[in-house]
Structure 1
Amino acid sequence: MVTIDDVAELAGLSKSTVSRVINHYPHVSQEKKERVYQAMETLGYVPNSSARSLRNKKTKMIAVIVPRLMNPFFGQLVESMEVAANQQGYQLLICQTMYSQDTELGHLNLLKTKQVDGIILASLENEWNNIAEYLSYGPLIMCNEFDESAEIPIIKLDQIHGGYIATKHLIRQGHTRIAYCSGGHKSMVANHRKIGFEKALAEHGLRFDESLGFFDAYTIENGIEVFKEIHKMDNPPTAVFTGSDEVAAGILTGAREYGVDIPGELSVIGFDNQVISRIMDPKISTVEQPIEQMAQKAVHVLVEQINSNNKPAKERYELPLELIIRESTVGGPLRAVE
């Protein structure tokens, strides 16, 4: 029988460190956590507490995996999920990946070791075929980020429509040279928004200038850097579509530092309708995502999966988006195009 001593020996760590990792104590480095998880995986070790949970069938714990809680979108999503989980008698465990594939797989081991009853994937760092094997240990669902090949329930938003209505608004304000700014290339959410962005351009006989594409932008600091790149251009865009209100706020911050008028010289539209979009000066036009509704649906669907002995259905739940127009795109000198 494999013991915690065997795990400690294989991981090259002390027994106490392994115990802290298993029991989710703070102040253990990610590198040590991954060594412990790998050793447990290799040896097929299941902690005693997890074995008790297995006998009792339910832990009444579910986990949500997000990239970073500092992003207001994910902070609000997790808060809403925690409320929904508590209402159904579950506790919510919050797991950050910081965009690391290995960290994501480490969090998925919580399902394998029976420390949670199910997991909500609100972000996705690995390919689905690297995640699918964890279904044999318990239910998974996707919420927000998604992979259409996944044979599990997905709660998502019509991101193509979101990219379309945001870009259509900018075109109606008279803009024909529009920059596109988003997160990672592998994100299905970002890819679908770009499809909607280019669809709106095409309807007006416009084409996307690839030199106006900015990627891997997630934070206010990233937005400031995007603005600096734009400001250096000989032929800069007159508007920017961004994938988050944080990035949009960063662009506005950079514009203020350089004395560029928003929206007179540069219009900016965000995404999410976070608090920051309403407190910036000028207030930021954005696309509102129904975060609370999405969180409630995700928890409800996951709990249904936990309580069901059936194979997870490939169900798709799509929620609506709404364009919110504010001062960052309205009031400029350009003539509206219908």
Structure 2
Amino acid sequence: MVAIVDVAKMAKVSTATVSRVLTNNKNVSPKTRAKVLEAVNQLEYKPNRLASNLRKMSSNTVMAVVPDITNPFFSSILQGFKDVALANGYHVLLGDTGNSLEQERNYINLVKERVVDGLILATARLPKEEILAASQEIPVVLACEYIDGFDIPTVSIDNVSAAREAVEYLIHLGHRRIGLITGPLSVILSRDRVKGYYQALNLNEIQIEGVLIQEGDFTVHSGYETMLKLLALEDPPTAVFATNDEMAAGAIKAIKQKGFEVPKDISIIGFDDIPLCGLIEPELTTISQPRYDVGYQAMQMLLNTIKKEELIRKQIVLPHRLMHRNTCCKYNPIG
């Protein structure tokens, strides 16, 4: 491998002079600069970026960690990350935990070694003390998820009020027996959406029945399996709130497979507004998150933190919107 010393020998200059040429330092004569660049071209020298980064204590690279890269929810968020980073001369490394706590921990430990300049977590399932400890060593921003009581920059929506709005919409349509398919309750977003479900029922004086609440894992398969359990009840729900769109899609499949119709027999509402919503039949009513804006603002906050610029707001809550499509209708007790 060609080293900087080889370039220096061919150009008959010091390694410091080669370094100045490669970093566009103006304190080099045009004649010397030409000799160095000629040697670089002849030897096909490639600068060692890692060594350069260590000298500068900067890599111009950040890492974004997501829980499941196969989930289309994260595509627009990642686009927002990338657009801001590239516009500011940064590269983005992607870490996919595969919903593994250990892999999430591995990524955090990696960035603590200063391989990258900062970290965005679109998942925060580790004990909050571990994430706080990382944030004290390297700039960290949370996207979508948050940690209650910690002063870590965060971009999210109000999941409690969004879930409450979804369930109140079903109540407005006349439904009183409303099932809930939730994501893993170890995830704070899932707990917030369950809280919104509880609030909507309590505000409308509807009894909460544990048998109507099923825990999934945000996948289509879990939505399908949990919906089968709800359909097997002696008195199944007339409407179901699935706390993400993939589980809602799985629920629709189960309903159809059992010979029922959506929304005639059972209304379904999802959460996230991923592209799948407009492709399934009928098109899915859902809560829409501004996913690109979440990614855009989270990366902007991270780069500002890396540059030691003061953040005007550390906790950004973006608006959500209920998207009315074709999977919900008024409850007709006669059928």
Give TM-score, length-normalised by structure 2: 0.81
Give distance in 2, aligned partners of 1:86 and 1:54. Answer: 21
Deviations 1:62-93 (A, max 9, x none): 11111101111112211221122112211111
**In structure 1, what is the equivalent of residue 87 of structure 2?**
87
Whole-Å Cα distance in 1 between the matches of residues 159 and 119 of structure 2? 23
SS of structure 1 residue aligned to 2:162: helix
* Offset from partner CA, 1:293-315 (integer Å, 9 cap, x none): 111100100000000077x8982
In the alignment, residue 54 of structure 2 is paired with which amino acid? L
SS in 1 for 2:241: strand
CA deviation profile, 1:196-219 (whole Å, cap 9, x unmatched): 111111121112211111113311
Distance in 1 between the 2:267 and 2:255 partners? Answer: 11
Q: Which has the larger radius of gyration?
A: 2
* 1:37 aligned partner: none
* Partner in structure 2 of residue 198 of structure 1: 198
Query: Is the Cα–Cα contact under 8 Å of residues 173 and 334 in structure 1 kept in the other structure?
Result: no
Runs in 1 of length 4+ with deviation above 6 angstroms?
none
Q: Is residue 319 from structure 1 mapped to residue 313 from structure 2 by the alignment?
A: no
CA 263–132 in structure 1, closer or farther in 2 if over 3 Å, else same? same
Secondary structure in structure 1 of the residue aligned to 2:272: coil
Could you tell me the TM-score, scaled by structure 1's length? 0.80
Q: Counterpart of 1:216?
A: 216
Per-residue CA deviation, residues 108-133 of structure 1 (Å, 9 max, x unaligned), is 12322211110001111211102222
Judge which range, 165-174 or 144-153, deviates more: 144-153
Matched, 1:281 2:281: yes
Number of positions where the alignment pairs a residue of Structure 1 with one of Structure 2: 287
1:116 correspondence with 2:119: no
Q: Deviations over 1:253-272 (max 9, x none)?
A: 11222211111111110001
* Alpha-carbon distance in structure 2 between the residues aligned to 1:250 and 1:297: 31
What does residue range 232-271 of structure 1 map to in structure 2 within 5 Å? 232-271=232-271
1:326 counterpart letter in structure 2: R
Structure 2 residue aligned with 1:14: none
Matches within 5 A, 1:284-295: 284-295=284-295
In structure 2, distance between residues paired with 1:334 and 1:173? 12
Partners of 1:57 and 1:140 in 2: CA distance: 17
3-state SS of paired residue (1:270): strand
Cα distance in 2, alignment partners of residues 75 and 292 from structure 1: 8
* Paired residues of 2:252 and 2:262 also in contact (CA < 8 A): yes
The amino acid that maps onto 2:94 is I
For the Cα contact (< 8 Å) 2:215–2:226, is it kept in 1?
no
* Pair 187,298 (structure 1): closer, same or farther in 2 beyond 3 Å: same
Q: Partners of 1:57 and 1:319 in 2: how far apart?
A: 34
Counterpart for residue 332 of structure 2:
333
Residue 223 of structure 1 aligns to a residue in which SS? helix
**What is the one-letter code of the residue matched to 2:322?**
L
- SS of the aligned residue for 1:294 comes to helix
Long gaps (5+) in structure 1: 1-47
Between 135-144 and 169-178, the greater mean CA deviation after superposition: 135-144
Measured on the aligned residues, the alpha-carbon RMSD in Å equals 2.0
Residues 1-338 of structure 1: matches in 2 within 5 Å?
Answer: 52-308=52-308, 315-330=314-329, 333=332
Cα drift, residue 332 of structure 1: 5.2
| C-alpha distance in structure 2 between counterparts of 1:334 and 1:274, whole Å | 32
Q: Residue 159 of structure 1 aligns to which amino acid in structure 2? A: N
Kept in 1, the 8 Å contact 2:175–2:330? The answer is: no
Please give the alpha-carbon distance, in whole angstroms, between the structure 1 residues aligned to 2:153 and 2:147: 10
Rounded Cα–Cα distance in structure 1 between residues aligned with 2:329 and 2:268: 10
Q: Indicate how the Cα distance of structure 1 residues 313 and 101 shifts in structure 2: closer, same or farther if over 3 A, else same.
A: farther
Q: Deviations over 1:236-278 (max 9, x none)?
A: 1111111111111111111222211111111110001111111
Q: Which runs of 5+ in 2 are unaligned?
A: 1-47
